[in-house]
Amino acid sequence: MTDVELSERVRALVAEGGFAEAWASLRPALRLGGGYGLFRRAVRLLATAAGRGWTPAYRRETRLALLSTFETAELGELLPVACAIHGLRVEVHAPPFGQVEQCLLEPAGLVAFAPTHVLLAPSTQDLGLSDLVEEPEAVVDAVVARWTGAWRLVAELGARPVQLLFAVPDGDVLGNLASTVPRSRTTVVREVNRRLAAAASRSHVLVVDVDRIASDLGKRTWFDHRIWYATRQPAGYEGLAATAREIGAVLAADAGLGCKCLVLDLDGSLWGGVVGELGWDGVDIGPGSARGEAFRAFQEFLADLRDTGVVLAVSSKNDGAAAREPFERNPHMRLRLDDFAAFVADWRPKSEQVRDIVEALGVSPEDVVLLDDNPAECLEVRQRLPEVGAVVLDGPVADFPRLVASSVLLEPVSRTEEDTGRAASYTARGQAERLRGEAASLPEFWHSLEMTARVRPVTERTVERAAQLSRKTNQFNLTLRRRSPAEIDALRRAPDWTCLTIGLADRFADHGIVGLCLAGPVSGGELPIDTLVLSCRVIGRTAEHHLLAALSRHAADAGIRRLRGHYRPGPRNALVADLYDRLGFQRDDDGWFLDLTGTPPIDSPYIREQP
């Protein structure tokens, strides 16, 4: 279906009041690179639907202040759509453009709005660079100082900065020589971007690489100088839609809404042909054909995603033994069986297979994306599991990596050691589940895992991982509070707060840091537990007992008389509703409490603390 046909279908559905169906039709196309026309159709859809009392299902909320050097009225209208496609509701506050420093130095308006994020949006045009820049180093220093200074002011407001980088100009009088000349406008803008990106990686600042967006779209399309002179908007309309999509993806990922698990079809998706007909040595993969090499390259792309922390699983309508044979015996396969955390191959509907994978891995359906070359299979999954994302692998195999990457479902905002080991951890989870089935009782199972833990104070090195857990954890999250890296960094330095992480290892894998406890401030001899979260990878291992045992010992040693616990019910955290009861806390009108003067600290008999 073309964009025009889709737009007309959505318009007809809206006219009939079919808002949910219209949004379900439009959302996948917006994820996969829908253009400005579809974005405008979505703006009208959401506005009309809201007037009739319907809104999409939102999983998170954020408040975004938009401080820019260019006109952002259009961008401000597109951003709610760009966030909504991920299940993120955003409220946008956009002061008049050109007042970045004024708004930050006299922040009454921002303080009243209370943003969670502040988008800092400069344009290349307002740099005012000539083709040959005088004193290029001083110019770069000044631009970098301006925006890093803005980051500090944003952080003082308790918000997280989101920095747009600069689009390298599409025209330079030096042509190809520009890249080799330090004074060229091209070189200066690239150096500004490099310096800002390097500083952002050290400062918990989110970055949107506008030059990459412009290059993907095409500089001649992204830049529209007529619009700049007419409206002071640096990008053309298609460029604006593409930029909004990427901003929405970054904000959603920061809210913990990124994809955790890719579920992969096999025939026609990871190799050419049908393995049940051709056998393990007859499928098209690797050298010998252009198509086979393209499938091998796609597997390389997926292997790289796995290395970044995306979990891979298989859902295939196939004979189970035949489906496994290429991974076991074909030397040209890049992926092997141990690259997958779950492998389901039978003749049931894909939705049932995917549901089994979700349950086996303990992830949420919203964290899963299916990749399949069959549109009918993707449609069946979308209809029966609407929370699961689905991407149809259509077109040439050589374009599969670009298609998946452009879906904005895989946007990371940070990289931690735990991300690198996540896939192996989920594979180990499957091994542990098999061990659970063999054990006579849960205590026997816990003992057989041979678990060790590392409870440590949050440090500068682990702040980002702590914030990741706070933002992304849903099922084992007692209070549903979401803390930014800057907030956690401030809390760990506060004298009346205790901020702890727990790392867990068992006989199958080292899972890295999997839990976070933020407790404070101390008041009247009582220490309230502000945040208690645990990764779904280790739910059911008693790690929460071990973490709270450490907190209770620390509190007792500090002379604190009580721990105070609270539970805030949400759509997916019912499994921890009775946690404090199970841990021996007593109930009163203000939640739960543990009297540290009359009872011993919490016990953790199944996990050994590492020195």
In a domain, 359, yes or no: yes
Indicate whether 519 and 371 sit together in one domain. Answer: no
User: Last residue of a domain, which of 254, 280, 314?
Assistant: 254
Residue 405: left if φ>0, alpha if ψ -120 to 50, beta else—which one? alpha
Burial class (CB in 10 A: 0-12, 13-18, 19+), 588: exposed
User: Last residue of a domain, which of 227, 254, 281?
Assistant: 254
Inter-residue contact 292 to 332 (CB < 8 Å): yes
pLDDT of amino acid 359: 87
For the chain, how many structural domains are there in total? Answer: 3
Inter-residue contact 346 to 317 (CB < 8 Å): yes
In a domain, 424, yes or no: no
pLDDT of amino acid 301: 94
Indicate whether 221 and 320 sit together in one domain. Answer: no
pLDDT of amino acid 413: 52
Q: From CA 571, how far away is CA 576, in angstroms rounded?
A: 12
Domain extent for 173:
57-254
- 272 strand-pairing partners: 284
Indicate whether 63 and 139 sit together in one domain. Answer: yes
Indicate whether 503 and 459 sit together in one domain. Answer: yes
Q: From CA 535, how far away is CA 2, in angstroms rounded?
A: 41
Distances in Å between the Cα of 125 and the Cα atoms of 66, 279, 419 are 18, 58, 38
In a domain, 120, yes or no: yes
Indicate whether 540 and 399 sit together in one domain. Answer: no
pLDDT of amino acid 256: 81
pLDDT of amino acid 92: 95
pLDDT of amino acid 104: 94
Distances in Å between the Cα of 146 and the Cα atoms of 24, 136, 151, 221 are 42, 15, 9, 29
User: Last residue of a domain, which of 208, 239, 254?
Assistant: 254
Query: For the packed helices 237-254 and 36-51, what is the interaxial angle rounded to 10 degrees?
Result: 60
CATH at residue 110: 3.40.50.1110
Taking alpha carbons only, the member of 195, 235, 231, 196 closest to residue 217 is 235
Indicate whether 329 and 292 sit together in one domain. Answer: yes
In a domain, 345, yes or no: yes
Indicate whether 250 and 265 sit together in one domain. Answer: no
CATH at residue 380: 3.40.50.1000
In a domain, 174, yes or no: yes
pLDDT of amino acid 414: 54
Indicate whether 268 and 371 sit together in one domain. Answer: yes
Q: From CA 349, how far away is CA 466, in angstroms rounded?
A: 38
Indicate whether 126 and 248 sit together in one domain. Answer: yes
Indicate whether 72 and 196 sit together in one domain. Answer: yes
Indicate whether 244 and 271 sit together in one domain. Answer: no
Inter-residue contact 10 to 45 (CB < 8 Å): yes
Instruction: Give mean pLDDT in consecutive 10-residue pieces for the chain, a chain of 611 residues.
Output: 86 91 88 87 94 91 94 93 93 92 93 95 89 90 95 92 93 78 89 95 90 90 86 90 93 85 95 92 92 96 89 94 95 94 93 92 86 92 88 92 78 57 63 67 87 94 91 88 89 94 89 93 93 87 92 91 92 88 90 86 87 82
Tokens of 445: 């199972």
pLDDT of amino acid 49: 94
Q: From CA 453, how far away is CA 604, in angstroms rounded?
A: 11
In a domain, 445, yes or no: yes
Burial class (CB in 10 A: 0-12, 13-18, 19+), 491: buried
Inter-residue contact 153 to 102 (CB < 8 Å): no
In a domain, 471, yes or no: yes
In a domain, 65, yes or no: yes
Inter-residue contact 434 to 529 (CB < 8 Å): no
Indicate whether 207 and 353 sit together in one domain. Answer: no
Q: Which residue has the tokens 């990371």?
A: 412
C-alpha atoms less than 13 angstroms from C-alpha of 296 in its C-beta half-sphere = 16
What predicted TM-score, i.e. pTM, was given to this entire model? 0.78
pLDDT of amino acid 88: 93
